[in-house]
Amino acid sequence: MKKQNTVVNLTLSSMFLALAYVMPFLTGQVPHIGSMLCPMHIPVILCGFVCGAPWGLIVGFASPLIRSVTLGMPTLYPVAVAMAFELATYGFINGILYRVFPKKNGYIYCSLIISMVIGRLVWGAVQFVCAGFDVSGFGFAAFWAGAVTNALPGIVLQIVLIPVVIILLEKAKLIRG
């Protein structure tokens, strides 16, 4: 049974990785807010919920790096590097919290919001390190703009969409609820 779960998780994780690769093409067609929708985040967060922490971490770390190396978007350094750590955090934290918290709908939101806050803090820390620990290169204003202001449409979309998808998957008994 464990081998079967590994195959299922590998298959689903591959699907989530492919979605993280192609979704920016779709949202890029929406003028002015396409990139603000954070399209790579959604499949990674779903992967953490559906497949668990290790799979979410791997898909989250790999997706921006693969996209950067093959397409040049996002730029590898520092954007894709910081995103790799951010998305890995989302997938990992969601995977852990979803398994640990009580199986009630409200805790799906808790898992999601906690992972989003921690992931954005990780992103900011990596950006700060990439800027050479230089506040003038990456300070609080740059952090706030990148982590919150510019990402607000994506944050709202994630908070609205992801719990609904997880609840529907639980009701359909496609994931453990």
Q: In the prediction, which pLDDT does 35 show?
A: 83
Q: In the prediction, which pLDDT does 85 show?
A: 98
pLDDT digits over 157-177, tens only?
999 999 999 999 999 998 875
d(CA 29, CA 8): 32
Burial 135-173 (b: 16+ CB within 10 A, else e): eeebeeebbeebbeeebebbbebbeeebbeebeebbeee
Place of tokens 């921690």: 118
Q: What percent of the chain has pLDDT over 90?
A: 86
pLDDT digits over 78-122, tens only?
999 999 999 999 999 999 999 999 989 999 999 999 999 999 999
d(CA 77, CA 109): 32
Q: In the prediction, which pLDDT does 43 show?
A: 98
The average pLDDT across 12-23 equals 98
Greater pLDDT, 77 or 174: 77
Please report the domains of the chain, with CATH numbers, ordered by start residue. 2-171 (1.10.1760.20)
3-state secondary structure of 75: coil
Q: In the prediction, which pLDDT does 69 show?
A: 97
Q: Indicate the average pLDDT of the chain.
A: 94
Q: In the prediction, which pLDDT does 34 show?
A: 82
Q: In the prediction, which pLDDT does 2 show?
A: 67
Q: Quick one: pLDDT band at residue 32, thresholds 50, 70, 90?
A: confident
Q: Is the pLDDT of residue 137 over 90?
A: no
The average pLDDT across 40-47 equals 98
Q: Is the pLDDT of residue 30 over 90?
A: no
The average pLDDT across 60-66 equals 98
Q: In the prediction, which pLDDT does 149 show?
A: 93
